[in-house]
């Protein structure tokens, strides 16, 4: 089995991708320092896969520690780089931490990987690179505008760094940049899912925690946007669907079928839902009421964004399979499992 190093592999998207990698016949190797995840995720992965996944507790921004992992494992065929801070709102409050962690860890990878002959990289990017777009849906060719948050700026910077590195003499690294939209939901087993530390920064865990009585109420940030009901529009994709896009990306890199050394793909459903639509769909899908109120707009949020998913379908053969209602039902099943 070909080994794929997964940085941030105990995180939300990372852990689901580890499952899909293993089930597709790859050997995932996890790097994580549990800065934004929990060790219990490893137990969940063991329950799903029936075996332990190779794991190294390091900060992937630590070059010497990363070299130690690559020496120990040997024959790494590619890397999926998830390890990053990921909350728009938090990045406004802690911009320097976001730049240091998100940009710094990528620089370390790009410096160290060539030393070990690793030539394939899937990078976890984001729709935030588009800023506040002039037209929807956004395509990969949509011009990127100034990001609305430090988080978005880190993703723009990282994409630029990868392109610049690809143009350097002697470069052998081939990369695919996956621009995610909004991952939601959990694995069908309810053994892994979104597991925020402290107060959630993302919508869905706040919805499920409110429905479970762990939070008094959900605050919806603004209802005066130029959208059908005044609340933000986002493209919500089930996390397992998103994980499967990474398998297609890894395979494309290994097959060397790409005409360019860096390719970019949007990974979303191709349509958007307002925050209120998501809350109402959750209530219908689960039978649970969500106590919510309207608050002021949150710094860093754009009014609306959703994907044109044509390219990822045509080139990678990837299409989402899970409905919004089923995605939200899986998130609720995961929430209930946490109480056991």
Domain ranges of the chain: 3-187+236-270+308-321
Taking a C-beta distance cutoff of 8 angstroms, is the pair 222, 299 a contact? no
Q: How far apart are CA 308 and CA 181, in angstroms?
A: 11
% of the chain surpassing 70 pLDDT: 100
* Cα separation, 259 vs 245, whole angstroms: 19
Q: What is the mean pLDDT of residues 269-289?
A: 98
CATH architecture of 3-187+236-270+308-321: 3-Layer(aba) Sandwich (3.40)
Question: How far, in Å, CA of 85 to CA of 35, rounded?
Answer: 9
pTM of the full predicted structure? Answer: 0.97
**Taking the mean position of all CA atoms in its chain, how far away is CA 242?**
8
Pair 136, 88: CB distance under 8 Å: no
Confidence of residue 221 (pLDDT cuts 50, 70, 90): very high
Looking at the chain, the whole-number percentage of residues with pLDDT higher than 90 is 94
What is the pLDDT averaged over residues 42-61?
A: 97
Q: What is the pLDDT of residue 339?
A: 86
Active site annotation includes 151: yes
Cα-to-chain-centroid distance, residue 157: 17
Catalytic entry in 12, 151, 225, 236: 151
Output DSSP code: residue 113: G
Q: 206-227 burial, b if ≥16 CB within 10 A, otherwise e?
A: bbbbbbeeebeebebbbbebeb
Q: pLDDT digit string (tens) for 231-249? A: 999 999 999 999 999 999 9
Q: Where are the beta strands (DSSP E) in the chain?
A: 3-7, 27-31, 55-56, 76-81, 120-126, 174-180, 182-184, 218-221, 233-234, 236-238, 262-267, 273-274, 292-295
Q: What is the pLDDT of residue 201?
A: 85
pLDDT at 89: 84
Residue of 303, 202, 316, 232 whose CA lies nearest to 266: 316
Please provide the DSSP assignment of 250-300 as one string.
HHHHHHT--SSSEEEEEES-S--EEHHHHHHHHHHHH-----EEEEPPPTT
pLDDT band for position 199 (50/70/90)?
confident
């Amino acid at each position: 089995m070909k080994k794929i190093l997964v940085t941030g592999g105990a995180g939300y998207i990372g852990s689901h991708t580890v499952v899909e990698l293993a089930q597709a016949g790859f050997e995932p190797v996890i790097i994580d320092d549990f800065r934004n995840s929990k060790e219990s995720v490893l137990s969940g992965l063991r329950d799903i896969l029936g075996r332990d996944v190779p794991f190294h507790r390091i900060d992937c921004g630590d070059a010497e520690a990363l070299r130690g992992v690559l020496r120990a494992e040997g024959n790494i065929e590619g890397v999926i780089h998830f390890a990053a801070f990921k909350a728009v709102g938090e990045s406004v409050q802690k911009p320097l931490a976001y730049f240091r962690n998100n940009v710094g860890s990528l620089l370390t990878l790009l410096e160290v990987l060539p030393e070990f002959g690793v030539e394939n990289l899937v990078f976890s990017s984001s729709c935030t690179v588009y800023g506040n777009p002039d037209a929807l849906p956004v395509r990969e060719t949509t011009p990127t505008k100034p990001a609305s948050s430090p988080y978005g700026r880190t993703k723009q910077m990282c994409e630029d760094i990868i392109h610049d590195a690809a143009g350097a003499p002697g470069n052998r690294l081939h990369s695919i940049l996956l621009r995610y939209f909004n991952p939601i939901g959990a694995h069908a087993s309810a053994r892994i899912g979104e597991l925020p530390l402290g107060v959630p920064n993302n919508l869905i865990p706040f919805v499920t925690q409110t429905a479970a009585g762990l939070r008094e109420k959900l605050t919806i940030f603004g209802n005066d946007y130029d959208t059908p009901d005044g609340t933000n529009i986002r493209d919500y994709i089930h996390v397992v669907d998103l994980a499967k896009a990474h398998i297609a990306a890894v395979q494309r890199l290994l097959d060397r079928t790409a005409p360019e050394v860096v390719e970019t793909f949007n990974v979303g459903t191709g349509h958007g839902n307002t925050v209120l639509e998501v809350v109402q769909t959750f209530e219908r899908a689960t039978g649970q009421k969500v106590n919510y109120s309207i608050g002021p707009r949150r710094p860093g949020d754009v009014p609306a964004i959703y994907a044109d998913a044509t390219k990822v379908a045509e080139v990678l053969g990837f299409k989402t399979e899970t409905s919004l209602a089923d995605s939200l039902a899986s998130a609720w099943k995961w929430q209930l499992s946490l109480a056991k």
